[in-house]
Amino acid sequence: MDFEFTSEDEAFRTEARGWLAARADGAQDRRTWERTLGKAGWIGIGWPEDGYGNRTATLTQQVAWAEEYARSGAPPRSGHIGENLLAPTLIIHGSEEQKSRFLPPVAAGEELWCQGYSEPGAGSDLAGVRTSAVRDGASYRITGQKIWTSLAHEADWCFVLARTDAGSRRHQGLSFLLVPMDQPGRVEVRPIRQMTGTSEFNEVFFDGAQARAEHVVGKEGQGWRVAMSLLGFERGVSTLAQQIGFAQELGRVVRAAVRTGAVDDPVVRARLVRQWAELRAMRWNALRTLGGSGDAGAPSVAKLLWANWHQRLGELAVQVRGAEASAGPCDWAPASPYELDPDQHLFLFSRADTIYGGSDQVQRTIIAERVLGLPREPKGVV
């Protein structure tokens, strides 16, 4: 599909403006928005191949699209896991049959995905996964539990790292399976309510007697290589779009500081300037590493930078508002969920920034071992 703008794109703009106007009233859900994007060919523009209903774009065009999407105030994407993680992995490691089956529905916004990696005993240490999969004819029976599974309550499919060799340890004997979520009584999703009052994360339980998967990406036992390849796609163009959102949040904090008079405090002014300067440095660093390969420490450095920056911004957001930041936007009732304003949500949710996606400790260990060449951290035997 050609990247050049057409009359269909103008129709998409009109539909998008209507959707954005309506979403404040809950007129359409996020799945409908994904289908709107897919219909216009705007899902998968970063894929190295077209022919799945997507249009392709240069790296510069991808950056322009991602940044303008963020600036527009468009809703958060519910299809980004399938588009930016699963799809590039399938393009590299999947069979032609798997690409033909799974990529078109992702590009159309018809099928949503979640990531089945972390477990209660294998979060930061991913190689310690215990979820098992036993071959049963042409499929696998899956037993185990995943945790912190983002958007599992909305997903149609989950890519799961499971142990297919019962006697294996650590990185050996793992397989990368594609599991349908619509298996009533076999796959159970339990939302995890966070201190923000929302439940984007979930626990997922697989009943080994019934839960099934028919697709393995790559060969059986090569799941670690596939899983690590997928993690390499977590950085890239989306980082620059994320920083547009950060800039909008910083602007809101600055305006609040001016309104409350907190900006008159030289310490607060210094913190605001530091946030602005560090955000610019993060952008330059992202541009420097964009499209690059072979820098083992780049993703970890980026994660350390933005996670700690965002957490400090959340603290600053409530500090500049003083006592008013402790009161919610609506009257509280014991029988109803509490509500948060954007600054309060920023403060509470950003507490997790230094944990999810690889904690600060894990990122520093990666830099120490893979960049500085320090001795490897001892791991316990699973």
pLDDT in tens, 175-221: 999 999 988 778 888 988 887 777 788 889 988 666 788 899 988 88
**Of residues 212 and 307, more confidently modeled:** 307
**Tokens describing residue 369:** 């071992």
- pTM (2 d.p.): 0.79
CB of 346 closer than 8 Å to CB of 284: no
**Distance in angstroms (rounded) separating the CA atoms of residues 240 and 306:** 11
Q: How confident is the model at residue 72 (pLDDT cuts 50, 70, 90)?
A: confident
Q: Are 135 and 148 in contact (CB under 8 A)?
A: no
For position 326, what pLDDT does the model report?
85
Most confident of 137-151, 244-258, 289-303, 345-359: 244-258
Bridge-partner residues for 158, per DSSP?
114, 179
Closest CA to 160 of 174, 172, 178, 186: 178
The candidate with the shortest Cα–Cα distance to 119, out of 136, 133, 135, 131, is 131
Cα–Cα distance measured from residue 197 to residue 339, given in angstroms and rounded to the nearest whole number:
8
pLDDT band at 321; cut points 50, 70, 90: very high
Active-site annotation holds for 8:
no
**What per-residue confidence (pLDDT) applies to 109?**
93
Distance, CA of 191 to chain centre: 17
Catalytic residue among 234, 278, 369, 377: 234
Q: Comparing 9-18, 50-59, 242-251, which segment has the lowest mean pLDDT?
A: 9-18
The whole-chain average pLDDT of the chain stands at 83
Mean pLDDT of 271-289: 91
Q: Is the pLDDT of residue 354 over 50?
A: yes
User: Using CA atoms, how far apart are residues 156 and 113, in angstroms rounded to an integer?
Assistant: 6
Give the highest mean pLDDT range of 22-31, 116-125, 260-269, 279-288.
260-269
Q: What is the pLDDT of residues 17-51, one digit of tens each?
A: 554 444 433 334 788 889 999 998 899 988 887 78
**Residue tagged 């209903």 (tokens):** 53
